Amino acid sequence: MTFNYTALQDSSAQLLQRFGRQLTFTRTTDGTYDPDTGTTSPTTETFTKYGCVFEYSDSERGDQNIEVGDRRVLAEGHAYEVGDLVSLDSETYRIVTVSNIQPAGTVVACNLQVRK
């Protein structure tokens, strides 16, 4: 018997919208190469998603991969990338790790480790 995780994905998004806040993400890519100028023009894309922001506990910071000041964002399911930027409390953070919560291949939500 298979389970349809799409309904769980929808419920997760609704809960994050209700109890979280809207976050603005920015992704910059290399863009296209212009042979006339010999340069590449970066392309910037901005998108919004809902999420809840958490501080890491002291015991979690004991992990060598989590630094003081890092924050965890539980965000709506999306194709986030390491290096994407997110604005939190008027400060810009960079995504350093992405951990998808995806039973049976359906991305229900994402845990993002972000750093100033």
What residue segments make up the domains of the chain, in order of their start?
Answer: 6-28+41-95+105-115
- Look at residue 104 and give its three-state secondary structure: helix
| Phi and psi, residue 43, nearest 5° | -115, 135
Q: How far apart are the first and last CA of the chain?
A: 44
Instruction: Say what the pTM is.
Output: 0.88
Span 33-50, average pLDDT = 89
Distance CA 109, CA 105 (A): 12
- Burial label for 32, CB within 10 Å (0-12, 13-18, 19+), is exposed
Give the model confidence (pLDDT) of 3-13 as tens digits.
888 899 999 99
Give the model confidence (pLDDT) of 52-79 as tens digits.
999 998 888 877 789 989 999 999 999 9
Alpha helices in the chain (DSSP H): 6-19, 58-61
CATH superfamily of 6-28+41-95+105-115: Bacteriophage SPP1 head-tail adaptor protein (2.40.10.270)
